[in-house]
């Protein structure tokens, strides 16, 4: 069987697809991962076959447009669309990526002839390309199904784009949804849900240095992801949160990328009693670990 995976160019969305893609490949199936050119190098880094489709768009700018405050005078949740109109800003971003990718993805699907297309929930070119190629599409969630809120408007929003490729009456939510989230994070729905045990993938890298042995104090891991620092460094609050956690006397493991290290601000480094944490750091190739410990083992 041939399985075509697709996402737009955002690393965390790609990484959510990798474990299932590797599971298919390990079972003997052919796999191909398609995204915009910007993601090609990182896709190749996962060890999976990769293809570029469409053109790059300003993904960070589009994400910034709906994460950061609305433009002056706009109603909440509404911003200026790429074409100058107004509409829900997150939807404008998803449609911009679909416009960029659909033509190339349809061409790839018709040429490579997959048996199945697997798409992450915001890669809306996926179900259109699957319908154009006459094969089923399956969504793979990476968290709570927030796109379910758009179920009433998404078909109409995608209809003009789909019609360009002769596609009508398709379901942008696919024939089924693979859901790795625990029951407490799932939303009630009537679509076919396929449960999947969550498996993490975070890219290649050296094994981090071992942590100190656990003591009596609680240990808290603090991280802030990559999106907020990429959009606006002032919104990267990992250092502030870590200092607040450390003030309770807990041990703190602060996991950030090397490029985020300067955004943390000043971290305490003085020795003291268990209620006065000492911070130590390790720096593997791509990750900084800032943690409290009785002894440094870096």
**Residue 185 CB coordination number (10 Å):** 12
pLDDT in tens, 148-164: 989 999 999 999 999 99
Spatial distance between the Cα atoms of 226 and 248, rounded to a whole number of angstroms = 26
Spatial distance between the Cα atoms of 196 and 33, rounded to a whole number of angstroms = 20
Question: CB within 8 A of 57, min separation 6: which ones?
Answer: 36, 96, 97, 100
- In the numeric block, which tokens belong to residue 151? 């179920």
- In the numeric block, which tokens belong to residue 33? 């991962």
pLDDT in tens, 273-284: 444 444 444 333
Q: What is the pLDDT of residue 117?
A: 98
Q: Name the nearest CA neighbour of 120 among 94, 153, 142.
A: 142
* 269: confidence class by pLDDT, cuts 50, 70, 90: low
**Residue 132 CB coordination number (10 Å):** 20
Task: Report whether pLDDT(143) > 90.
Answer: yes
Q: What percent of the chain has pLDDT over 90?
A: 53
Q: What is the pLDDT of residue 77?
A: 39
Q: Which helix (H) or strand (E) holds 132?
A: helix 125-133
pLDDT in tens, 55-98: 999 888 887 776 766 544 444 433 333 433 334 677 888 999 99
Instruction: State the chain's mean pLDDT as an integer.
Output: 83
The dihedral built from the CA positions of residue 45, 50, 56 and 60, taken in this order, carries a sign that is negative
């Amino acid at each position: 069987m041939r399985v075509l995976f697709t996402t737009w160019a955002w690393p965390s969305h790609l990484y959510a697809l990798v474990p299932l893609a590797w599971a298919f490949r390990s079972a003997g199936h052919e796999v191909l991962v398609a995204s915009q050119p910007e993601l090609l190098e990182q896709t190749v880094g996962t060890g999976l076959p990769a293809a570029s489709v469409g053109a790059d768009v300003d993904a960070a700018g589009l994400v910034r447009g709906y994460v950061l405050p609305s433009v002056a005078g706009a109603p909440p949740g509404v911003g200026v669309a790429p074409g100058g109109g107004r509409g829900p800003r997150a939807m404008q971003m998803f449609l911009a990526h679909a416009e960029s990718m659909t033509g190339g993805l349809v061409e790839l699907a018709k040429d490579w002839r997959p048996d199945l297309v697997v798409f992450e929930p915001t890669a809306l070119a996926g179900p259109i390309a699957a319908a154009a190629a006459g094969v089923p599409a399956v969504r793979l969630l990476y968290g709570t199904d927030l796109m379910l809120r758009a179920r009433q408007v998404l078909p109409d929003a995608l209809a003009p784009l789909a019609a360009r490729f002769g596609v009508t009456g398709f379901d942008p939510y696919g024939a089924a949804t693979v859901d790795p989230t625990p029951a407490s994070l799932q939303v009630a729905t009537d679509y076919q849900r396929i449960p999947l045990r969550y498996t993490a993938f975070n890219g290649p890298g050296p094994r981090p240095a071992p942590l100190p042995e656990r003591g009596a104090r609680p240990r808290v891991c603090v991280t802030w992801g990559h999106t907020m620092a990429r959009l606006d460094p002032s919104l990267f609050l990992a250092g502030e949160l870590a200092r607040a956690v450390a003030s309770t006397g807990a041990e703190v493991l602060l996991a950030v990328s090397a490029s985020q290290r300067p955004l943390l601000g000043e971290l305490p480094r003085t020795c003291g009693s268990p209620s006065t944490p000492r911070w130590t750091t390790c720096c593997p190739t791509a990750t900084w670990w800032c943690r409290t410990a009785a002894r440094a083992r870096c």
